[in-house]
Structure 1
Amino acid sequence: MTPGTPYEAARVDALLSERGAVVRPDGVRRWPFKSGDVDIGELREGGQVVATELRVPLSDRPDLMREVIEAAAALATEAGARLVDPQLGRALNGKADAGVMEQYARTARYAGEVAGVPEALGASSYAQETQGARGFQPSTRMVLIAIGIFVVLYLVVDSLVSQLGGA
Protein backbone atom coordinates (compact mmCIF):
# COMPACT_ATOMS: atom_id res chain seq x y z
CA MET A 1 0.00 0.00 0.00
CA THR A 2 1.37 3.35 -0.99
CA PRO A 3 1.09 6.10 1.64
CA GLY A 4 -1.70 8.51 0.74
CA THR A 5 -3.66 5.84 -1.12
CA PRO A 6 -7.19 5.32 0.25
CA TYR A 7 -7.70 2.16 2.27
CA GLU A 8 -9.91 -0.38 0.50
CA ALA A 9 -11.94 -1.74 3.43
CA ALA A 10 -14.41 -3.52 1.12
CA ARG A 11 -11.60 -5.50 -0.52
CA VAL A 12 -10.16 -6.52 2.86
CA ASP A 13 -13.64 -7.48 4.12
CA ALA A 14 -14.23 -9.63 1.01
CA LEU A 15 -10.89 -11.39 1.52
CA LEU A 16 -11.70 -11.95 5.19
CA SER A 17 -15.05 -13.49 4.21
CA GLU A 18 -13.26 -15.81 1.76
CA ARG A 19 -11.03 -16.94 4.63
CA GLY A 20 -13.95 -17.83 6.89
CA ALA A 21 -14.61 -14.63 8.84
CA VAL A 22 -18.20 -14.54 10.08
CA VAL A 23 -20.48 -12.02 11.75
CA ARG A 24 -21.92 -13.26 15.04
CA PRO A 25 -25.53 -12.43 16.02
CA ASP A 26 -24.25 -9.69 18.35
CA GLY A 27 -22.56 -7.95 15.40
CA VAL A 28 -18.96 -8.86 16.25
CA ARG A 29 -16.95 -10.20 13.32
CA ARG A 30 -14.78 -13.24 14.04
CA TRP A 31 -11.98 -14.90 12.11
CA PRO A 32 -11.57 -18.55 13.18
CA PHE A 33 -8.16 -20.24 13.40
CA LYS A 34 -7.02 -23.68 14.59
CA SER A 35 -5.80 -22.23 17.88
CA GLY A 36 -8.72 -19.87 18.56
CA ASP A 37 -10.76 -16.98 17.20
CA VAL A 38 -9.77 -13.38 16.50
CA ASP A 39 -12.16 -10.42 16.66
CA ILE A 40 -12.18 -8.06 13.68
CA GLY A 41 -12.80 -4.35 14.05
CA GLU A 42 -12.50 -1.18 12.02
CA LEU A 43 -10.22 1.72 12.83
CA ARG A 44 -11.88 5.00 11.89
CA GLU A 45 -10.38 8.42 11.51
CA GLY A 46 -12.54 11.39 10.59
CA GLY A 47 -15.49 9.07 9.97
CA GLN A 48 -13.61 7.01 7.37
CA VAL A 49 -12.29 3.48 7.79
CA VAL A 50 -8.50 3.72 7.63
CA ALA A 51 -7.59 0.20 8.78
CA THR A 52 -8.93 -3.19 9.77
CA GLU A 53 -8.07 -4.18 13.31
CA LEU A 54 -7.42 -7.76 14.43
CA ARG A 55 -7.83 -8.32 18.18
CA VAL A 56 -5.96 -11.42 19.33
CA PRO A 57 -7.09 -12.56 22.79
CA LEU A 58 -4.40 -12.62 25.46
CA SER A 59 -3.67 -16.22 26.37
CA ASP A 60 -0.94 -18.68 27.13
CA ARG A 61 -1.13 -19.99 23.55
CA PRO A 62 1.35 -18.06 21.40
CA ASP A 63 0.56 -20.38 18.48
CA LEU A 64 -2.62 -18.35 17.83
CA MET A 65 -0.54 -15.19 17.44
CA ARG A 66 1.78 -16.95 14.99
CA GLU A 67 -1.19 -18.18 12.92
CA VAL A 68 -2.75 -14.71 12.86
CA ILE A 69 0.46 -12.98 11.77
CA GLU A 70 1.02 -15.43 8.91
CA ALA A 71 -2.60 -15.32 7.70
CA ALA A 72 -2.92 -11.54 8.10
CA ALA A 73 0.33 -10.93 6.22
CA ALA A 74 -0.89 -13.08 3.33
CA LEU A 75 -4.23 -11.25 3.35
CA ALA A 76 -2.52 -7.83 3.43
CA THR A 77 -0.29 -8.78 0.51
CA GLU A 78 -3.28 -9.95 -1.52
CA ALA A 79 -5.24 -6.79 -0.66
CA GLY A 80 -2.31 -4.50 -1.44
CA ALA A 81 -2.20 -3.24 2.15
CA ARG A 82 0.37 -3.27 4.95
CA LEU A 83 0.21 -5.30 8.15
CA VAL A 84 1.27 -3.05 11.04
CA ASP A 85 1.79 -3.82 14.73
CA PRO A 86 0.69 -0.63 16.51
CA GLN A 87 2.52 -1.52 19.74
CA LEU A 88 5.83 -1.88 17.93
CA GLY A 89 5.01 0.84 15.40
CA ARG A 90 6.29 -1.05 12.39
CA ALA A 91 5.15 -3.13 9.45
CA LEU A 92 5.29 -6.92 9.75
CA ASN A 93 6.18 -9.57 7.23
CA GLY A 94 4.67 -13.05 7.05
CA LYS A 95 6.81 -14.49 9.83
CA ALA A 96 6.05 -14.22 13.54
CA ASP A 97 9.23 -12.42 14.51
CA ALA A 98 10.70 -12.42 18.00
CA GLY A 99 9.78 -8.79 18.71
CA VAL A 100 6.08 -9.37 18.09
CA MET A 101 6.00 -12.59 20.09
CA GLU A 102 7.93 -11.02 22.96
CA GLN A 103 5.58 -8.02 23.11
CA TYR A 104 2.54 -10.33 22.99
CA ALA A 105 3.93 -12.47 25.83
CA ARG A 106 4.77 -9.38 27.90
CA THR A 107 1.25 -7.96 27.43
CA ALA A 108 -0.38 -11.31 28.22
CA ARG A 109 1.77 -11.75 31.33
CA TYR A 110 0.87 -8.24 32.51
CA ALA A 111 -2.84 -8.94 31.94
CA GLY A 112 -2.58 -12.18 33.90
CA GLU A 113 -0.71 -10.70 36.85
CA VAL A 114 -2.15 -7.20 37.17
CA ALA A 115 -5.44 -7.00 35.32
CA GLY A 116 -6.71 -10.38 36.49
CA VAL A 117 -7.47 -11.80 33.06
CA PRO A 118 -7.80 -15.51 33.95
CA GLU A 119 -6.96 -16.91 30.51
CA ALA A 120 -3.86 -14.72 30.16
CA LEU A 121 -0.42 -15.79 31.21
CA GLY A 122 0.23 -15.82 34.92
CA ALA A 123 3.55 -15.33 36.62
CA SER A 124 3.81 -19.09 37.15
CA SER A 125 3.83 -19.60 33.37
CA TYR A 126 7.19 -17.89 33.24
CA ALA A 127 8.91 -19.66 36.17
CA GLN A 128 12.20 -21.03 35.01
CA GLU A 129 12.47 -24.79 35.14
CA THR A 130 16.00 -24.60 36.51
CA GLN A 131 14.90 -22.48 39.42
CA GLY A 132 14.56 -24.56 42.58
CA ALA A 133 12.72 -23.70 45.76
CA ARG A 134 13.39 -20.08 46.61
CA GLY A 135 13.00 -20.54 50.37
CA PHE A 136 11.21 -18.08 52.60
CA GLN A 137 10.51 -14.56 51.44
CA PRO A 138 12.23 -11.82 53.50
CA SER A 139 8.98 -10.77 55.18
CA THR A 140 8.19 -14.36 56.21
CA ARG A 141 11.72 -14.80 57.48
CA MET A 142 11.42 -11.66 59.63
CA VAL A 143 8.12 -12.83 61.13
CA LEU A 144 9.61 -16.23 62.00
CA ILE A 145 12.66 -14.58 63.59
CA ALA A 146 10.42 -12.28 65.63
CA ILE A 147 8.33 -15.24 66.85
CA GLY A 148 11.52 -17.11 67.79
CA ILE A 149 12.83 -14.12 69.75
CA PHE A 150 9.53 -13.79 71.64
CA VAL A 151 9.54 -17.53 72.51
CA VAL A 152 13.12 -17.35 73.83
CA LEU A 153 12.34 -14.14 75.74
CA TYR A 154 9.23 -15.77 77.25
CA LEU A 155 11.23 -18.82 78.38
CA VAL A 156 13.97 -16.65 79.95
CA VAL A 157 11.46 -14.43 81.77
CA ASP A 158 9.44 -17.47 82.89
CA SER A 159 12.52 -19.18 84.33
CA LEU A 160 13.60 -15.96 86.10
CA VAL A 161 10.12 -15.47 87.60
CA SER A 162 9.98 -19.10 88.75
CA GLN A 163 13.46 -18.77 90.38
CA LEU A 164 12.44 -15.56 92.17
CA GLY A 165 9.08 -16.91 93.25
CA GLY A 166 10.50 -20.30 94.26
CA ALA A 167 13.29 -18.93 96.52
Structure 2
Amino acid sequence: MAEHHEGVPVGVLLLESVNRLRAAETMLQTRARARMALRASDFQALQFLAARGSVGAPARATDLADVLGVTSAAATQTVDRLVGRGLVERQPDPDDRRSRIIRLTADGERGLSEAYEDLPGAVQELLDAVPTAEAERMIALAAAVQVVVDRTATRSL
Protein backbone atom coordinates (compact mmCIF):
# COMPACT_ATOMS: atom_id res chain seq x y z
CA MET A 1 0.00 0.00 0.00
CA ALA A 2 2.95 2.28 -0.59
CA GLU A 3 2.03 5.65 -2.04
CA HIS A 4 4.25 7.83 -4.15
CA HIS A 5 5.22 10.95 -2.14
CA GLU A 6 8.19 12.26 -4.08
CA GLY A 7 8.63 15.98 -3.59
CA VAL A 8 6.02 16.25 -0.83
CA PRO A 9 7.55 17.75 2.33
CA VAL A 10 7.69 15.39 5.29
CA GLY A 11 5.80 17.91 7.43
CA VAL A 12 2.88 17.85 5.00
CA LEU A 13 2.83 14.04 5.02
CA LEU A 14 2.88 14.01 8.82
CA LEU A 15 0.01 16.51 9.05
CA GLU A 16 -2.03 14.47 6.57
CA SER A 17 -1.38 11.37 8.66
CA VAL A 18 -2.42 13.15 11.84
CA ASN A 19 -5.63 14.29 10.15
CA ARG A 20 -6.44 10.73 9.09
CA LEU A 21 -5.82 9.46 12.63
CA ARG A 22 -7.93 12.28 14.07
CA ALA A 23 -10.81 11.43 11.74
CA ALA A 24 -10.67 7.76 12.69
CA GLU A 25 -10.46 8.58 16.39
CA THR A 26 -13.41 10.98 16.07
CA MET A 27 -15.51 8.24 14.47
CA LEU A 28 -14.64 5.82 17.28
CA GLN A 29 -15.41 8.41 19.95
CA THR A 30 -18.68 9.42 18.33
CA ARG A 31 -19.83 5.79 18.30
CA ALA A 32 -18.69 5.22 21.89
CA ARG A 33 -20.31 8.44 23.11
CA ALA A 34 -23.58 7.58 21.37
CA ARG A 35 -23.60 4.17 23.05
CA MET A 36 -23.40 5.89 26.42
CA ALA A 37 -25.85 8.64 25.39
CA LEU A 38 -23.50 11.36 26.64
CA ARG A 39 -22.70 14.84 25.44
CA ALA A 40 -19.20 15.34 24.12
CA SER A 41 -17.90 17.17 27.20
CA ASP A 42 -19.28 14.52 29.55
CA PHE A 43 -17.64 11.76 27.53
CA GLN A 44 -14.36 13.68 27.45
CA ALA A 45 -14.59 14.04 31.24
CA LEU A 46 -15.05 10.28 31.65
CA GLN A 47 -12.04 9.60 29.44
CA PHE A 48 -9.94 12.06 31.45
CA LEU A 49 -11.01 10.50 34.74
CA ALA A 50 -10.27 7.01 33.39
CA ALA A 51 -6.79 8.08 32.30
CA ARG A 52 -6.07 9.68 35.67
CA GLY A 53 -7.43 6.67 37.49
CA SER A 54 -5.33 4.26 35.45
CA VAL A 55 -2.15 5.85 36.80
CA GLY A 56 -3.51 6.37 40.31
CA ALA A 57 -3.59 10.16 39.97
CA PRO A 58 -6.39 12.03 41.71
CA ALA A 59 -8.66 14.32 39.72
CA ARG A 60 -10.51 17.35 40.99
CA ALA A 61 -13.12 19.57 39.35
CA THR A 62 -10.40 22.18 38.73
CA ASP A 63 -8.38 19.58 36.77
CA LEU A 64 -11.46 18.77 34.75
CA ALA A 65 -12.11 22.46 34.07
CA ASP A 66 -8.57 22.82 32.70
CA VAL A 67 -8.89 19.78 30.44
CA LEU A 68 -12.33 20.73 29.14
CA GLY A 69 -11.39 24.40 28.80
CA VAL A 70 -14.40 25.50 30.84
CA THR A 71 -15.07 27.39 34.04
CA SER A 72 -15.09 25.69 37.43
CA ALA A 73 -18.87 26.10 37.51
CA ALA A 74 -19.26 24.33 34.15
CA ALA A 75 -16.94 21.53 35.29
CA THR A 76 -19.04 21.14 38.45
CA GLN A 77 -22.19 20.87 36.31
CA THR A 78 -20.49 18.18 34.23
CA VAL A 79 -19.58 16.27 37.40
CA ASP A 80 -23.13 16.69 38.72
CA ARG A 81 -24.56 15.16 35.52
CA LEU A 82 -22.13 12.24 35.67
CA VAL A 83 -22.79 11.67 39.37
CA GLY A 84 -26.51 11.70 38.59
CA ARG A 85 -25.96 8.97 36.01
CA GLY A 86 -23.91 6.93 38.50
CA LEU A 87 -20.80 7.12 36.33
CA VAL A 88 -18.60 9.09 38.73
CA GLU A 89 -18.45 9.76 42.44
CA ARG A 90 -17.04 12.46 44.65
CA GLN A 91 -14.82 11.45 47.53
CA PRO A 92 -13.13 13.53 50.23
CA ASP A 93 -9.67 14.77 49.26
CA PRO A 94 -7.23 13.47 51.86
CA ASP A 95 -4.89 16.41 51.14
CA ASP A 96 -7.49 19.20 51.21
CA ARG A 97 -10.69 18.82 53.19
CA ARG A 98 -12.33 21.63 51.18
CA SER A 99 -11.82 19.73 47.94
CA ARG A 100 -13.28 16.54 46.50
CA ILE A 101 -11.64 13.86 44.40
CA ILE A 102 -13.67 12.71 41.40
CA ARG A 103 -13.39 9.08 40.35
CA LEU A 104 -15.14 6.76 37.94
CA THR A 105 -17.54 4.34 39.54
CA ALA A 106 -17.59 0.69 38.55
CA ASP A 107 -20.53 1.56 36.28
CA GLY A 108 -18.48 4.35 34.68
CA GLU A 109 -15.55 2.03 34.04
CA ARG A 110 -17.84 -0.66 32.67
CA GLY A 111 -19.67 1.86 30.47
CA LEU A 112 -16.44 3.12 28.91
CA SER A 113 -15.18 -0.40 28.40
CA GLU A 114 -18.41 -1.49 26.72
CA ALA A 115 -18.54 1.67 24.62
CA TYR A 116 -15.16 0.80 23.13
CA GLU A 117 -15.49 -2.96 23.06
CA ASP A 118 -15.81 -3.03 19.30
CA LEU A 119 -12.49 -1.26 18.75
CA PRO A 120 -11.41 -3.18 15.72
CA GLY A 121 -8.93 -5.83 16.72
CA ALA A 122 -6.90 -5.02 13.64
CA VAL A 123 -6.47 -1.42 14.85
CA GLN A 124 -5.28 -2.59 18.24
CA GLU A 125 -2.89 -5.02 16.58
CA LEU A 126 -1.46 -2.22 14.43
CA LEU A 127 -0.95 0.00 17.46
CA ASP A 128 0.56 -2.79 19.54
CA ALA A 129 2.98 -3.66 16.71
CA VAL A 130 4.62 -0.21 16.72
CA PRO A 131 8.14 -0.66 18.10
CA THR A 132 8.67 1.12 21.42
CA ALA A 133 11.38 3.41 20.04
CA GLU A 134 9.10 4.57 17.21
CA ALA A 135 6.19 5.08 19.57
CA GLU A 136 8.39 7.15 21.87
CA ARG A 137 9.48 9.31 18.92
CA MET A 138 5.85 9.89 17.90
CA ILE A 139 4.88 10.70 21.47
CA ALA A 140 7.79 13.14 21.81
CA LEU A 141 6.93 14.80 18.49
CA ALA A 142 3.28 15.21 19.48
CA ALA A 143 4.30 16.70 22.83
CA ALA A 144 6.74 19.12 21.17
CA VAL A 145 4.12 20.26 18.66
CA GLN A 146 1.64 20.76 21.51
CA VAL A 147 4.15 22.93 23.41
CA VAL A 148 4.66 25.14 20.35
CA VAL A 149 0.93 25.40 19.70
CA ASP A 150 0.23 26.24 23.35
CA ARG A 151 2.98 28.85 23.39
CA THR A 152 1.78 30.52 20.18
CA ALA A 153 -1.88 30.30 21.21
CA THR A 154 -1.29 32.24 24.41
CA ARG A 155 0.63 34.94 22.51
CA SER A 156 -2.23 35.54 20.10
CA LEU A 157 -4.84 36.10 22.83
Give TM class, smaller chain.
Answer: under 0.3
TM-score, normalisation: structure 2: 0.25
TM-score, normalisation: structure 1: 0.24
Higher helix share: 2
**Higher RCO (Cα < 8 Å, 6 or more apart):** 2
